[in-house]
Structure 1
């Protein structure tokens, strides 16, 4: 992905992207325009050969302080905000229309129910009382097992929070059952295992948050403190058995196909046959158990922990998952810990942003139809497709001329490249939400029913052919991604807008910005993780040993370089975590530059705005990454984010591109010129 990956905790989805002046903003009816190369974002006091990121983004950083309701602020974030304001206008209209179609009814009523804070606050914790009573009534381990099953079906974040249907790693045309690891309330397992002062403090604050939710639910303070300590103890045991983020970059570490009987032997405390029967799969033959060691740990916890402690664990995860959909005290508690304390956000977002994001998350392809019809021109899709095809052609040429790869491996690499599918703008077929009930005035119920709808839709895929037309992002999303098992690159319409892409602007900054994004996603097919999947999207080694070593040697050059960059204080980039994105940044920018040169080879271009065409390409490349970050958020990102900070994603790349030094007249010895450049593709 170009920016943030999926996997952000549910509570953080309530974070909005806004500037202080927009706290009381009105919905917009037309998207604003920002140039794809913004001269006001420059800092001309900086020598681009000393710090190209500061030169390209210094003005932007000065002019765009972090909004009070944000942990960070960026060019992508600002465009996301503009998209949200536009969606707000759509939803305000749809919520009030008298004669509505089915899509307008669902998105309009979902938005209206979310905005009805008076009704939400009046209900308080009432929406959870039936489930809390069920947990309180648990008298034995068998009843506990049934409760875990029930909560998982409602996606309430217990032990198996990412179980469901997924592509078979060994047969990408098939969907099989997958049982993953979950059950942690903090952003990453490292928060439980690290012993430094900051990590110890975070765990203490986390226990306070857990206790706060229990007291809000009616527990006496002393009992809440005891129960909170039980929850932390259980989660710590699960964290110690979980793979690290770096380990999860190796797809083989998450691929353990086995029978239901084998899974039962690993974790007999769960009635797995009943678990799968309840999801419509009584005769399930095979399941991928992503983390067998984790399953053993779950079994140990279910057998050895006191029943009351396990009930506290279930009760907390029910409360924390539901908190953003409950009354103000619960929502505030969630914000104060996850957003304010962990990430430094100063204040909650305005309600309209919370509700726009909720509708986008739960009814994304319904709302997406409304967005696409108003914003995405056919010209944009056509020109983006041409750019994508040009970049794929360049990638093929680069592969053919690699001096470190054997003909045998090149053949498979080219076969994979030519099999990549390009998905631009929005799905060919929209998702059918007709079976999902959205009711006016029932925010919690709408959210729960949407979650169950998506869970059932996912489980229903098992045993059926893979739908290769399905998307993993909604159309308004300002992001892009590569899916190694689908072997496709995906660019939602939300990311194909100014200032990231403008079909009316000159090609140089467009290729530098969106072209490098296209190249970035394409290069993910050949990064340290993506390269392990073949043309069909199957997990299969198609490399010779010598070629695999040659690849690792070359990405180690980048790992060594990026490990020298400091994120905050003495915390350096974990380049083993970020290497996939770093490789994609370098390869994507290189092939976008070559594709742009092919595009203009018969043109005599003159400087614009005082910059040569080559300089405009590189400034366009740099300005997508302009950002400001709070210190607390940088600390979270250092642990959880597979992307390097913006300054490293720009300076770390151009120092490996001699064409940049030529464009700006940089000399040997200046910071943006490396003696030995890294090159993978």
Structure 2
């Protein structure tokens, strides 16, 4: 999961980023082990008893678990499931997302049917929705709503004024620690929390930005497919400008593309971006002037409402230097063209239909392979989640998240945290001092289940029932102000970084905290009617995953207070790194295309969390049995249901373009490979009688044991 964020499987061009997340021998799963008798057949869906949880009809009994466990758990689902035309992928996350979307649609329908006091959250939600779905009004207004912004760019006379405009455009639109989200179309992005190297001090982090494509490799890679996308992107820039009525689009597109190529060269790589040890530097105001000349920092920071700030977390230090130099060296006209393009591209969804569709054709279809744009009403619901997420979430949990679900999941969390602590206590290679630090971290984790204790105040957010563009721009400014208000104040360990309705979960390293929103606490991840084996394999593994992020290759660098501090002995860390190397090599071997394999190093943090989290969930499941044997349900043992439930939450079907993008740029491996985490647990081999010679078999000494 993420974490950062669960990847959420690129369910659309802009919604749901990453949990997140076949042999032919006929065999049967019966009571204890996987039988090898080819005459036997897997129990049918009809024969399965109530409470089994797993989707028996989605399995493939012809696949041998030891050869292709993913196909065994999801083979029939893979054959019969079609990716919706308005999606780049589908899977378990989409099932839960669509259930939440249906509930939100019902809430909005009720809100629209009533009048609400002016200034209330209900009125804001209703007005935002009305403006967003009124395509006729958006088309009739044309580019007029954006004219004030475009005029600001046209009026820039020199690099000093350019610096001020770049600062005024700054937004809190990145999250390197919790969501591994490094993308912003502004030249820099801002993130606000406790500094990596400043425990107890909340700082604004400065991150690299300025690209229209996902990251630097799209501009610099010599891979033929990347080169083809570059050609299409250059044409897209021109077409988008033309659709917005911008004169001399061809020449401006050429300047914009050339500038972005230089910006890409100044960027850190994705792998370096995910390495917190390279990102902990703190710069003073003087450091900005001395280390990053080119921008008029006084004007930039004043326009960004950071004029009084004297310390900054320089997350992408080298990129800050490189991008600032480009402000000085690149032509002013190129920067003005670049500002116009990105203002249009980033707000295309609330601009005329021609602009909106042109942006989707590239960002949705070319980059992710999605044939059709989602319907306007569904996109409006997603926009509400982004700009009024807590207001919608508060109504959502009141209607659709029962107290019983919160209590049951909270108990599971307690059990898995306990199980994880016992696993740490049992590690024989760890020095007492290191183990003491690790246990202190386990004991101090703050867990939020369902929804936050405090709700956001949107009273400063002006929403116009007739101006969708203004609503989005105002929403960005309100979020920015909300984040800046935290600077210099004590960090709130209970702060939520997700809305309650999102289908996701997150580990917050500097808070040493976890969020499990209500949106993911529903089928297929959590089923109150299902047997514990399924729930521990499904949502339990998610819970374990997020706990384990506190101890992955990045999380292990933080102590119990959230400070980035080395609390390891050299010998202990060498042993930890050795297991990480083995896991990276394991994932390097997975290749969805002949010319592209998973990057085991890039995905290492997520993979460590999967292994450790699944192990802790398994221990907690067995502890929940209180010494009693697990029942056999539908012909499946408890352990079999646990592991099948885990694999089915990673059911994933992606369009080729989206899968390539995931593998090339995302810190989460595709779901079909994450399901194979089971290879590292001894209990999986026993549950399905996996033997030497089976394709997925790992010798006991090759199974990765982390935490």
- TM bin, normalised by shorter chain, reads over 0.9
CA pair 71-7 structure 1, distance change in 2 beyond 3 A: closer
TM-score, normalization: structure 1? 0.93
Q: CA RMSD in A?
A: 2.3
CA separation in 2, counterparts of 1:420 and 1:533?
12
**1:153-232 pair list within 5 angstroms:** 157-220=184-247, 223-232=248-257
Query: 1:244 maps to what in 2?
Result: 269
TM-score, normalization: structure 2? 0.90
Q: Please tell me whether residue 663 in structure 1 is matched to residue 681 in structure 2.
A: no
Query: 1:418 maps to what in 2?
Result: 443
CA pair 189-10 structure 1, distance change in 2 beyond 3 A: farther
Q: 1:119 aligns with which of 130, 133, 137?
A: 137
Q: 1:151 aligns with which of 158, 169, 194?
A: 169
Secondary structure, in 3 states, of the residue corresponding to 2:231? helix
**1:448-597 pair list within 5 angstroms:** 448-597=473-622
Secondary structure, in 3 states, of the residue corresponding to 1:255? coil
CA separation in 2, counterparts of 1:453 and 1:423?
24
Deviation at 1:9? Answer: 11
Q: Please tell me whether residue 629 in structure 1 is matched to residue 654 in structure 2.
A: yes
Secondary structure, in 3 states, of the residue corresponding to 2:514? strand
CA separation in 1, counterparts of 2:52 and 2:127?
36
Could you list the runs of 5+ residues in structure 1 that have no partner in the other structure? 18-32
Query: 1:60 maps to what in 2?
Result: 77
CA pair 414-556 structure 1, distance change in 2 beyond 3 A: same
Partner deviation per Cα, 1:423-451 (whole Å, 9 max, x = no partner): 10000010011111112122111111111
CA contact (8 A) 1:484 1:525 kept: yes
Secondary structure, in 3 states, of the residue corresponding to 1:12? coil
Query: 1:672 maps to what in 2?
Result: 696
Q: 2:125 aligns with which of 107, 123, 126?
A: 107
Deviation at 1:163? Answer: 2.0
Q: Please tell me whether residue 603 in structure 1 is matched to residue 628 in structure 2.
A: yes
CA separation in 2, counterparts of 1:650 and 1:391?
20
Q: Please tell me whether residue 397 in structure 1 is matched to residue 422 in structure 2.
A: yes
Query: 1:20 maps to what in 2?
Result: none
Query: 1:129 maps to what in 2?
Result: 147
CA pair 498-375 structure 1, distance change in 2 beyond 3 A: same
Deviation at 1:485? Answer: 0.5
CA pair 460-579 structure 1, distance change in 2 beyond 3 A: same
Could you list the runs of 5+ residues in structure 2 that have no partner in the other structure? 19-49, 174-182
Q: 1:142 aligns with which of 157, 160, 165?
A: 160
CA contact (8 A) 2:10 2:89 kept: no
Query: 1:13 maps to what in 2?
Result: 14
Report the more deviating stretch, 280-289 or 188-197. Answer: 280-289
Partner deviation per Cα, 1:90-129 (whole Å, 9 max, x = no partner): 1122123124582211111111111111101111111111
CA separation in 1, counterparts of 2:205 and 2:9?
20
Partner deviation per Cα, 1:234-280 (whole Å, 9 max, x = no partner): 11212112111111221121122121111012233323233333444
Q: 2:371 aligns with which of 336, 342, 346?
A: 346
Report the more deviating stretch, 453-462 or 364-373. Answer: 453-462
CA separation in 2, counterparts of 1:530 and 1:411?
16
Secondary structure, in 3 states, of the residue corresponding to 1:669? coil
Query: 1:292 maps to what in 2?
Result: 317
**1:33-52 pair list within 5 angstroms:** 36-52=53-69
CA separation in 2, counterparts of 1:7 and 1:280?
34
CA contact (8 A) 1:227 1:309 kept: yes
CA separation in 2, counterparts of 1:485 and 1:241?
28
CA pair 297-11 structure 1, distance change in 2 beyond 3 A: farther
Deviation at 1:343? Answer: 1.0
Secondary structure, in 3 states, of the residue corresponding to 1:258? strand
CA pair 680-174 structure 1, distance change in 2 beyond 3 A: same
Report the more deviating stretch, 528-537 or 498-507. Answer: 498-507
Report the more deviating stretch, 512-521 or 594-603. Answer: 594-603
Report the more deviating stretch, 618-627 or 87-96. Answer: 87-96
CA contact (8 A) 1:176 1:462 kept: yes
CA contact (8 A) 2:170 2:304 kept: no
CA separation in 2, counterparts of 1:149 and 1:447?
19
